Structure formats: C-alpha cells, structure tokens
Structure 1
C-alpha cells in the first residue's frame, strides 16, 4: 500500500495542498481556520500520514538539530554529565542533539551548510580548543558555534563560550580549609600542563604566598602529558600501577608529616585520585581531611572528612544549549559565561551554581 501524501489529505479534506502544509506545520504563521486545521489533522491521522522530516528539513534549511563535538568517552562521568545538560537544554528549546565524535568536525560542516545541522557545540578538555575550521565556519555563518571548557575566547571571536572558573574554585577551597584550622596541605597532583591545572596552581601559590600559617607540599602522582596522550585516566580507568604509586607516595608523605591529622589535608587535583587518597588517609592518618579540586561524585555522607569543589557540569551543558539557540537568532550576539565551582562537604550542599557573566554576555 503506497504511503499517504499531502495530496491525498488535500483531496479528502477538499482543500489545497498548501493549506494541508500550513495546517500540519506547528510553526506556520499563516492563518488557518481552527475547524479547517482540526479537520486536516484528523484526516491525516486517519490516513496514517507521517511527514518526511528529512525533506521538510531540507526545504526549511533547518533540522532543529545541534551537533555536539565530543571526542571523550561517555563512560567518563565528566562528559556524560555535560552531555546530559546539553540534551536537556536543547530539548527545552525544541532542538535535538546529534553526537559527533570527530574532534575536527570537518566531516559535518557540509551538514551545517545544507541545513541538516543548525549549529555546533564543541566540548573541550585539557588544552583542547575548537579547530580553526570550526571558528572559520562560525565567522562566515556556516555553523554557529558554542564552546565548553576551552578558556575565554578573544574579544572578537565569532562564537559563544561557557567555561569554569578554576581559579575561584582553588581560592574558595583554601579559604574553607583555613576555616577548619588546617595548617598543612599535601597536594596530590599530576605532572601535566593543562590550562585548568595551571590556573589552580597559580591561585594556590598566590593565596598561600599572601597568607600565613598554612604550608603546602606537592606529592606527585607521576602522571605526565605523555601518559594522557596514551590513555584517558579517570575513575575506574586508573591503572593498578598508578594506584600503587599514589598509595605508596602519599602514605610516605603522611608518615613524614609533623602536623597532626586534624590539621592536615590531602588536596587532590584530580577527582580520579580521591578514592585512593581516602583509603590512604583512613589507614595512615585517620582524622585528616581529603579535599578535591576537580569533578567526580564522592559520597560526602560516608566520608565525614571529605570536601570537594564540584564542577557545574550539567549546568555548563544547559548554558551551552541556551547560547547555541541564541546564536541562531538573526540579531545574535556572542555570550560568554563563566561558572564557579561550589564546595560540598558533610552536611553542606550548595543551593545552586554561581554564574559569572562576562561583560560581553547580554544576560
């Protein structure tokens, strides 16, 4: 049996094909009498008519679909949370999400040109920034673009951006630890040169250098940039060799410390090291605090001496979705949104994410 068409509906309803098209289109601004619209839709349902979404997208040069360029596995909770936020934010705006694993996105620019994709969201990590091909496509209007976690773009950049205020997260952590009476920090950190790590280290040195009564000693996890190039390390993806190194070196540092446990904090740069740090502290220095500057979802209800700086990952995705929808408007301006991490510990949960709008963000 042939698939019913708009011509069939028009014949049954005694109206023109254009009237059928307007009656079935929720976004049409052409006035159709309510009874005519209802009759057309009822007949379409009776005939089993389903619109050809592909053809409709090509005619309208819009698919109501946004491509998300993400080269990291979604088994990593960090990126799964960001994508969750993007998906929910796009849905609120009447858009769908298409996953694009190609980090260059060159293969999808043609889809943007022909209307199969309305815009792109680029999810950054470490020192990743959007490739120049995407920036050029945003500049000439081919592919409106929003970046997440790529650093604040230049003033004249042709796209919007959402970023995390890593510096504020580090400063807020030190202020919280000082309030707990901590005088010794064992900083468990990798030997990597990512932007987030550089911003945190700069803030830690600045705040500690300006204050008194708190000292910091670095305990390296020996994880290098070359290790990261070989494999993604996070959560349960940590190797047994890495865990053994962290356990041994941190245990030695705690035993050599002259500060009592209640005045000592193990500060983890990476959420992936929190679990190992908690085990070592429970065994070697019960009563010491474990703190984390990065993502992860540690259970503060079962680890009373745990405090961590939560990155607003889902919220970042939602902000990116809002910005890409704004980018599609005829009079679009490029927004810049900086999100602050929030501290969480036993009995203390943040009420919400603090947003720091950039001066270029109309919000």
Structure 2
C-alpha cells in the first residue's frame, strides 16, 4: 500500500494541494482559516499522511534519542525493569533513551519537534494514562509515540500501545492452586480502584465462579492512592507492613480450612514477603502466591508461586516500535503481553 500523499489529503479535505501544504507547515505564515487548517490536519491524521520533509528529517536525524515520560521513582523495581527494557529495545535499534524528569509533557513534544528527540514513550501506572493534551499533541504533530501499561492495547489507539495481561496472571495462579488441591483463597489487595486492580479482581471472581469447590474471601490492605504516594516519597514501609501483619493475623483466626488447602493470593508482589512471613509463622503449610513478582525467589520458598509480568519485554517492544515509526514510518504496534507462572 502506497503512503498517502498531499493530493490524497487535499481531495479528502476538499481543498487545494497548496492549502494542505500551508496547513501542515508549522512555519507557514499564510493566512489560512483556523477551521480549514484544523480540518486538513484531522484528515491527514485519519489517512496516516506524514509530510515528506518530516519523514526525511526523521530518517536523517542524528539525535537517536527517545524520551521517556515517567513520574514514578526508578527505585521502584517495577519501573526500573520497564526502563531497563526500554533501554535495551532502543539500543537494539541503535538508539538511546533519556528520562524526562519534568511533568510538563509539552517540553517532550517540543523536543521531538525541535529534533532533540526522535520520539516519546509514556509509562502509565494505576489509572494514570496518557493525558488528553499529550495524545492530542502527538496526533497533531505526527510524533512517534508509545504508551506502556495504560490499558489501551485492545482499544487500538492511533499510537503504539504495549500492555500487560493482568487477567491471564490471575488465571495462571488460580489454575495452579486448584491443581494443588487448594479449596480456600484469601485475596489480599489494596484499597485502590485502578485499572489493573479492577481487572485482577474481576478475573479472580470469574476464575473462582467456575470452580465451586473453591471459596473466596478478600482482605484489603488499607493502602489508598494517598498512602501509596506517601510510601514513594519517604520509602518507609515499616508501619504499613506491621499493619498488614496484624490484619493477616486477624484473618487467620477466621480460617476454617486446613493450611494445606488454604492460599493467600497477593495482588501486589511487594506484599508477598509480609504475607508469607505472617501466615507461615502460624503454619508452614499455608500457600502464598503473588500476581506480580515480589522480592522473594520462589526456588528458595517451597510452595511460593507468582505470575511474572513481562515488564522488561514491554519496555523493549515499545521502544523498538517507536524507533521504527520514527526511522521507517512503520505503523503503530498494539500488544497485550501475557505473564509467566514462576514457582
């Protein structure tokens, strides 16, 4: 399929080729009506037109840098793994990544338009997804762009989207526990209503609804979005872990199934260590699982399992796709990456 031309845009928008050229040239001072300019740009986006001058500049650009927009600390292993994957994916294509510390998304857009960067990657979290203003700027200026963990891969946005299949992680864990004879599951989850938590909780309900021999109870950890922000600012989790241990101890008093048939499934991998230490002090037969990888190595803890999300692979795939869009005008990539069961 041939790449759309200026004439294609002109015919679709009902204007002259000259008008299209003026509308798409950021430096043009030709007095074109704003309504007409907006219509032409919308049509150009819809049919995937990229100005030849922009395509040439992207191929010849020497910056070879992709900006990464992240407002979470890299001390968090989750985001460190994603950024490491981004670096690896960019390096495989001969590019590098640079972390944008400013939350001003406009500066990243300006850096791409000015030639300092070749593209942008946005790393989502919780319900923090691509801001509307950033998505609009990316579309308006045909910026090579990718989003990670924004819950949009199945919606096919007009840019690269790489997401994680949280529901598949739940299915893997529940299937293993059922095969191991578990009959009672306590789901340990934060008091957050993020996209990932909604997906996990619904998947847990669906998985156990199909297994009437297994019961489900929910233990909320007390972590809200506000408390999570405080943890990230201070790095002090001691009080929270003590609180979680107390909640678990109270929950254990209500457990009526034998330890060998009882499992505690943690939505957060970071909770696994506290849960494991607490429940196995009472009886080493209790099973513990995580829907994300925690700090503990399953090989060192018999019976411990977790669904390992492909964080590094998500970064690698997104970076590679954004670079190829910048360098080769390749189309956007939409991927939902499945986890692996470890342990």
TM range (shorter): 0.7 to 0.9
**How big is each residue's C-alpha offset from its partner over 1:180-227, in whole Å with a ceiling of 9 and x where there is no partner?**
100011111111111100000001111212221101111111112232
Who is 1:173 aligned against? 173
* Paired residues for 1:16-165 under 5 Å: 60-152=60-152, 157-165=157-165
Output the CA distance in 1 between the equivalents of 2:193 and 2:120.
27
Who is 1:250 aligned against? 248
Residue 102 (structure 1) shift? 2.5
Mark the runs of 5 or more structure 2 residues left unpaired by the alignment. Answer: 1-56
Residue 130 (structure 1) shift? 1.3
Who is 1:283 aligned against? 281
Runs of 4+ with deviation above 4 angstroms: 57-62, 153-156
Residue 287 (structure 1) shift? 1.1
Output the CA distance in 2 between the equivalents of 1:237 and 1:207.
35
**Does structure 2 conserve the Cα–Cα contact (< 8 Å) formed by 1:58 and 1:116?**
no
**How big is each residue's C-alpha offset from its partner over 1:291-313, in whole Å with a ceiling of 9 and x where there is no partner?**
00123342112111200011111
- Change in Cα spacing, 1:338 to 1:287, as seen in structure 2 (3 Å) is same
Output the CA distance in 2 between the equivalents of 1:131 and 1:204.
30
Who is 1:47 aligned against? none
Output the CA distance in 2 between the equivalents of 1:200 and 1:287.
25
Based on CA coordinates, which of the two structures has the bigger radius of gyration? 1
- Change in Cα spacing, 1:330 to 1:314, as seen in structure 2 (3 Å) is closer
TM-score by length of 2: 0.79
Residue 331 (structure 1) shift? 4.1
Output the CA distance in 2 between the equivalents of 1:248 and 1:58.
57
**Does structure 2 conserve the Cα–Cα contact (< 8 Å) formed by 1:89 and 1:318?**
yes
SS for the counterpart of 2:190 is: strand
SS for the counterpart of 2:305 is: strand
- Which of 293, 299, 302 pairs up with 1:301? 299
Who is 2:338 aligned against? 340
Output the CA distance in 1 between the equivalents of 2:59 and 2:254.
71
- Change in Cα spacing, 1:156 to 1:288, as seen in structure 2 (3 Å) is closer
Residue 245 (structure 1) shift? 1.4
- Change in Cα spacing, 1:145 to 1:79, as seen in structure 2 (3 Å) is same
Output the CA distance in 2 between the equivalents of 1:66 and 1:264.
47
1:182 partnered with 2:175: no
Q: Please provide the CA RMSD for this pair.
A: 2.1
SS for the counterpart of 2:256 is: coil
Who is 1:237 aligned against? 235
**Does structure 2 conserve the Cα–Cα contact (< 8 Å) formed by 1:145 and 1:324?**
yes
**Does structure 2 conserve the Cα–Cα contact (< 8 Å) formed by 1:78 and 1:296?**
no
Output the CA distance in 2 between the equivalents of 1:343 and 1:330.
36
Residue 70 (structure 1) shift? 1.1
* Paired residues for 1:295-334 under 5 Å: 295-334=293-332
Output the CA distance in 2 between the equivalents of 1:286 and 1:198.
31
- Change in Cα spacing, 1:132 to 1:153, as seen in structure 2 (3 Å) is farther
- Change in Cα spacing, 1:265 to 1:158, as seen in structure 2 (3 Å) is same
Who is 2:227 aligned against? 227
Output the CA distance in 2 between the equivalents of 1:131 and 1:268.
30
Mark the runs of 5 or more structure 1 residues left unpaired by the alignment. Answer: 1-56, 346-363
How many aligned residue pairs are there? 287
Residue 256 (structure 1) shift? 2.3
TM-score by length of 1: 0.74
